[in-house]
Each structure stands twice: as C-alpha cells, then as structure tokens.
Amino acid sequence: MTFFLVSSIVKIVVVFTVIMVGVALLTLAERRICAWIQDRLGPNRVGPQGLLQPAADGLKNLVKEETLPARADKVLFMLAPAMSFIPALLTFAVIPFAAPLPTPWGDVDMMVANLPVGFLYILAFGSLGVYGIVLAGWSSNNKYSLLGGLRASAQMISYEIALGMSTVAVLLLAGNVTLTDVIAKQAQSVFTWNVFPLSLAFFIFIVAAFAETNRLPFDLPEAEGELIAGYHTEYSAMKFSMFYIAEYSNMVTASALMTTLFFGGWDIPITTWDNTPPWTTLKTLATLAMFSAKVMCFLFLFIWVRWTLPRFRYDQLMALGWKVMLPLALAYVTVIATAIWFLHDRLGWTYDSRFALALFALNLVLAVPLFFVLDRGHLIAGSVAEQGERA
Amino acid sequence: MAIGVKVMKRPGAEISYLRATLKGMALTLSHLWRPKVTMQYPEEKSSKDWTLSPRWRGTHRMLTDEQGRAKCVACGLCPQICPANCIKLVPGEDEQGNRYPLIYEIDEFRCVFCGYCQEVCPEEAIHVGVHYENSEYSRDRFVYDLERLCAQTHPVSTLWDPSDPKGE
C-alpha cells in the first residue's frame, strides 16, 4: 500500500512536470515550425535556438496585469481557465507510456492510474474540457467570446460522437477497454498495430481529434478573423496562458491517444523483445523513447496541418461532422464488426498478422471509393447552389 | 428576404479536396528546408538580397573643409526650402567678411527627410545620409547641433537623379 502510494505520487509529479515542460517546448516548436514553413527563422534569441523562449513567455504572463471585465461573471470568469486546464491534464493519467519498470519492491506500471475502464475515462474527461471554454465565453459578457464558446460546444459535441464511434472498432478488436490490453493486443507484430486493420477508423479518429482539440482547420471557437480571439478574448496574463496550456496539453493527449489506440502505444515495431517479461530498466527507457517519438510525430502533424490548411466555414464544419463523419463512423463499425465476426467466429482465426492483414485489405477496398467521393467534394461541398437560385 | 447573391457555378470535375490537401501539405513540408529570408538585424545589416539604397535619405551630415570647419556659408536657403521647418540657422560673419553659421540645428523629429536641404545647398555642405539608426534616451538629443552634424561619418545620399531615374 505504501509502495503504491509512493510510486503513484512520484508518477503524478513526474508526468505533470514532463507534460508542463513538454507543452512549453511545444509552443516554441509551433512557433519555429510555423516560421520555417513561412521561410522565416522564428524566435531564436532567448537561449540557444530560442529554447528559453517559453520561460520568457511564462515570466511575462506571470507579471502581466490581470484584467477583469467590469460586467463579467466574476466567479465563472476565474473558474473557466482552470476548468479547461484541469481536464486537459487529467486525461493523460490513464495512458501507458512505457513498459513496466522493475523495482526492488515490485513492478511499476508506467501510467499514472491503471484504470480498468481506461478508455471510457478518456472519453468522459475529454468532453469535460468544453465546459471551460463555454463558461469562459459566457462569463466574459462579450458577444465574440460567447459566439466562440457556443461554437466550441457545438463543434465538440458533434465530433465527440464520431470520435467515440471510430474507437468502438478498436475496442471490438481488443475486446477490452483497458488501455494496457489494447496495447498488448497490438504488440504482436507491426501489422497488428490498429492503424492497419482499422485504417479508416484511424482516419475518422484523426479528423475528429483535430476538431476536439480546436486546432486548424477546425479552430472555429477562436477564428481570429471573425471572433477576435473567440472565448479567450477577455483574458490576459496567466489566465490566458492557462487556455493555451490546455490547448497544447489537449494536443499532447490526443497524440498520445492516437499512438496508444492505433500505433501500438509504447511497442517497438519488428521486435517482441520490448513487450515480454522479464522487465528491465533498459526496456522501460527504450519503450519510453519509442512512445515519445510516436507522440512527437503526431504533434508535428498537428502543427504541420495547422500551418497548411485554411479554416472551415461553420456550416461546412457542421455538415462534415453530422453528414459525413457520423454516418461514416456508424457504417464502418457495422462493416468491421461483421468482418471480425466472420473471421473470428466463422473461420475461427485467432488475432495475428494474418487476421490484421485481412482486415487491412478490407479497409483498402472501402477506402478507394470513400476517398474518391471525399476528394470530388460530393460530401463536403462548398456553397454551391444552382445558378439563378436565390439564397 | 435575403439579398440575391450571384453564386458562381464551380467546375465539378476539377474539384479536389483530398489531393489538394496533400499537395498543400507537401508544399509546406518542402518549405521547412528552404533557405530562410530572415536577416538577423543587429548583427547583419545587409545581405546579398538586400542593402540600403545609396539614395536613402536618413540622418543629416554636415561636410567640412580641410581645416575641419563646416562648409556652410549660412546663405539661409535650407531653412527657406525646408517644408517641415526643422532647420534653425543664425548667420554670423568674421573679420574677412566670410559668413558662417553661429547656430545650425536640425530637429530630426520634425524632419520629413525630403532631402531638399541637400538639393538646394550651393556649397554641398548639408547632406542627408545613408543611415537610419538614431535612437536616443531623451527627446532633446534629437536636435542635432552643428558640431554633431559635422561629426557624423556615414556616407551621404546620392539623391534621385532625374537624368538617371533608375540609378544605373
């Protein structure tokens, strides 16, 4: 019991620190990658290659004046940054980030809390983040903030469904909602990584994840051109900074989630050395490095997409969410459930590379017409109306 | 009723969302490694792509003769032509009857850097210079007196030549 308490507290402190430092560096990474994409250099003055820029920003935000709009709802205005900040950090608690670490007192799971309901916990806390944004918009007593908050709530609710649906396929394949089991199931070979048998689910998940984290092309809650800064228009100093930290920790969590659900978590591809006992410190470190590398790839993808794509119009966003992603996710769950039933119950295959590759082939067959239709814009149309028709 | 808006008919066959997205992503990715255009200003003040034009009209400079005296003869043309009225000139005369400026001050805050003073000067004494870094800690430091104008060392502006409008 003492060991459990001590190890948990150590893990909480370490994970919290790593995420906060990671988020700080991520803001720098975002600014520098954005600059490189635009043929600029980006912040490179504070410290070597600008590495201390986040510290300078943090210091600036700490000593800046806190503003409080005269007619704002004071309690909610103060509470809102914390309400978007805390769920963003809490979600990471159930994500396994390395192989268990052996200690003289027993093996330590490399996740803050090994919850049996891991995945359900993530869905639950992922949705809580929207409260902070909506309350920030409401309490500011500013029409732009309010519109931002409303957009955020509508957007996150819409895409939450597609997100949940796409992961049903993962849970069907794993037969469990515990994230350690999801990873163990994927660890057999490279092809059993869920991205192969469930490619389309991954596609739906990644689109929904972009929408859930309010990143471009789905950053309508902030939409500078229309809403100034959306829900955090009235915020300054550390309270503003907390929204930023929340956004970036949501990105980290979403990346970690994609890694865990679709890219084998901390599993090192090709070899099975890393996921079979006896556990050693070396294995823990190697898997931790693997996990970090995968997460960083996704973080780079987030940044890269942000500085490439333009923002959706609001009706396009809603149309994509309800008319494309949701039916697609539903249909996909039906197809994949049938396929799994057929392969597993009818043909009696056990889950291995052959099983995964069979599903991958099915995904490819489904993907061709889907991407053809998506590409031609039959589903996410612009404001195309027949000529002469009055809007 | 909403106002009728003319909606353009889009060519359906050429519409592409996913391919266009991927193409855009490839383009931005390729830009990551391209040479950057940023000039690291305080360390690097000119590059092969950009240098300050020799026609640049910046901080003034008063040229001096061999004895280190200002070339100015206090004719009064520059305060006359100055559209911003930023030149203060009080003429004086020595025993040989040579005119010289007793006080010659230019308020760099008022100056609009038109370069008329240089154009009008019959002695080629006052010039605008190819120089732009003139920050100070107090406002009164922006009024340059004769001594300070003579002490400037930056190159002087060539101004625009009507017979060679492109500077070739």
pLDDT tens digits, residue range B139-164?
989 999 888 888 888 888 888 777 77
Q: Which residues of A touch B14 (CB under 8 A)?
A: none
Strands A106-110 and B99-107: unpaired
Q: Is the pLDDT of residue B46 over 50?
A: yes
Query: Across chain A, what does the average pLDDT equal?
Result: 83
This complex has an ipTM of 0.74
Chain B residue with the nearest C-alpha to that of A44: B40
Q: Is the pLDDT of residue B70 over 90?
A: no
Interchain CB contacts (distance < 8 Å): A and B: 67
What integer pLDDT is reported at residue B90 of this predicted model? Answer: 92
What integer pLDDT is reported at residue A49 of this predicted model? Answer: 85
Mean pLDDT along residues B13-24: 76
For residue B54, being part of any structural domain is answered with no
Structure tokens at B19: 């391919």
Cα gap A91→A251, rounded to integer Å: 11
CA distance A218 to chain B (A): 14
The answer to whether the Cβ–Cβ distance between B28 and A37 falls below 8 Å is: yes
Rounded percentage of chain A residues whose pLDDT exceeds 70: 95
pLDDT tens digits, residue range A62-73?
898 888 888 888
**B128 contacts B86 by C-beta, under 8 angstroms:** no
Helix (H, G, I), strand (E, B) or coil at A254: helix
Mean pLDDT along residues A160-186: 84
**B111 contacts B84 by C-beta, under 8 angstroms:** yes
Mean pLDDT along residues A173-187: 81
What integer pLDDT is reported at residue A184 of this predicted model? Answer: 80
Mean pLDDT along residues B12-24: 75
Closest-CA residue to A186 (of A21, A359, A35) = A359
For residue B113, being part of any structural domain is answered with yes
Is the bond into A217 cis (omega within 30 degrees of 0)?
yes
Chain A residue with the nearest C-alpha to that of B42: A45
Cα gap A183→A170, rounded to integer Å: 11
* A350 contacts chain B (CB < 8 A): no
Handedness of CA A189, A184, A196, A126 (dihedral sign): negative
Could you tell me the residue range of the domain that residue B130 belongs to?
60-151
**Residues paired with B144 in a beta bridge:** B106
Mean pLDDT along residues A357-386: 70
Chain B residue with the nearest C-alpha to that of A36: B32
For residue B50, being part of any structural domain is answered with no
- Give the confidence band of A270 by pLDDT, cuts at 50, 70, 90: confident
Q: Is the pLDDT of residue A359 over 90?
A: no
Chain A residue with the nearest C-alpha to that of B13: A376
Amino acid at A302: F
For residue B92, being part of any structural domain is answered with yes
Query: What does the DSSP assignment read for A137-202?
Result: HHHTT-HHHHHHHHHHHHHHHHHHHHHHHHHHHHHHHHT---HHHHHHHHTT-STTSTTTTTHHHH
Query: Across chain B, what does the average pLDDT equal?
Result: 85
For residue B35, being part of any structural domain is answered with no
The answer to whether the Cβ–Cβ distance between B9 and A387 falls below 8 Å is: yes
Mean pLDDT along residues A168-193: 81
* A36 contacts chain B (CB < 8 A): yes
The answer to whether the Cβ–Cβ distance between A33 and B32 falls below 8 Å is: yes
What integer pLDDT is reported at residue B10 of this predicted model? Answer: 62
For residue B23, being part of any structural domain is answered with no
Amino acid at A338: T
CA distance A307 to chain B (A): 8
How distant, in Å, are the alpha carbons of A136, B91, B92, B100, B125 from that of B64? 66, 17, 17, 12, 7
Q: Which residues of B touch A376 (CB under 8 A)?
A: 12, 15-17
**A334 contacts A326 by C-beta, under 8 angstroms:** no
**CA gyration radius for chain B?**
27
For residue B31, being part of any structural domain is answered with no
Q: How far is CA A68 from the centre of its chain?
A: 31
Mean pLDDT along residues A182-188: 80
**A375 contacts B19 by C-beta, under 8 angstroms:** yes
* A37 contacts chain B (CB < 8 A): yes
Give Cβ neighbours of residue A23 (< 8 Å, ≥ 6 apart): A245, A248, A249, A252
Q: What residues of chain B have any CB closer than 8 angstroms to a CB in chain A?
A: 1-2, 4-5, 7, 9-10, 12, 15-19, 21, 24-25, 27-29, 31-32, 34-38, 40
For residue B75, being part of any structural domain is answered with yes
Cα gap B30→A307, rounded to integer Å: 13
pLDDT tens digits, residue range B82-113?
999 999 999 998 888 888 899 999 998 999 99
- Give the confidence band of B137 by pLDDT, cuts at 50, 70, 90: very high
User: How many domains are there within chain B?
Assistant: 1
Work out the end-to-end distance of chain A between its first and last CA atoms, rounded to an integer number of angstroms: 68
Amino acid at B116: Y
Q: Is the pLDDT of residue B117 over 70?
A: yes
Q: Which residues of B touch A385 (CB under 8 A)?
A: 7
Rounded percentage of chain B residues whose pLDDT exceeds 90: 17
Q: Which residues of B touch A37 (CB under 8 A)?
A: 28, 31-32
**A198 contacts A359 by C-beta, under 8 angstroms:** yes
The answer to whether the Cβ–Cβ distance between A309 and B24 falls below 8 Å is: yes
Q: What is the CATH number of the domain that holds B72?
A: 3.30.70.3270
Interface of A with B in 38-77 (CB under 8 A): 38-41
Q: Is the pLDDT of residue A377 over 70?
A: no
Q: Is the pLDDT of residue B167 over 70?
A: no
Buried-state track A146-177, b at ≥16 Cβ within 10 A, e below 16: bbbbbbbbbbbebbbbbbbbbbbbbbbbbeeb
Least confident of A302-316, A372-386, B70-84: A372-386
Closest-CA residue to A189 (of A356, A363, A361, A349) = A356
Mean pLDDT along residues B49-70: 87
What integer pLDDT is reported at residue A369 of this predicted model? Answer: 81
The answer to whether the Cβ–Cβ distance between A387 and B15 falls below 8 Å is: no
Q: Which residues of B touch A390 (CB under 8 A)?
A: 1-2, 4
Q: Which residues of A touch B35 (CB under 8 A)?
A: 39
**Residues paired with A268 in a beta bridge:** none
Buried-state track A186-197, b at ≥16 Cβ within 10 A, e below 16: bbbbbbbbbbbb
Entry pTM: 0.81
What integer pLDDT is reported at residue B112 of this predicted model? Answer: 92
pLDDT tens digits, residue range A275-316?
777 778 888 888 888 889 999 999 999 999 988 888 887 877
Least confident of A29-38, A116-125, A358-367, B11-20: B11-20
Least confident of A87-91, A259-263, A368-372: A368-372
Q: How many CB atoms lie within 10 A of CB A86?
A: 16
Q: Which residues of A touch B7 (CB under 8 A)?
A: 383-387, 389, 391
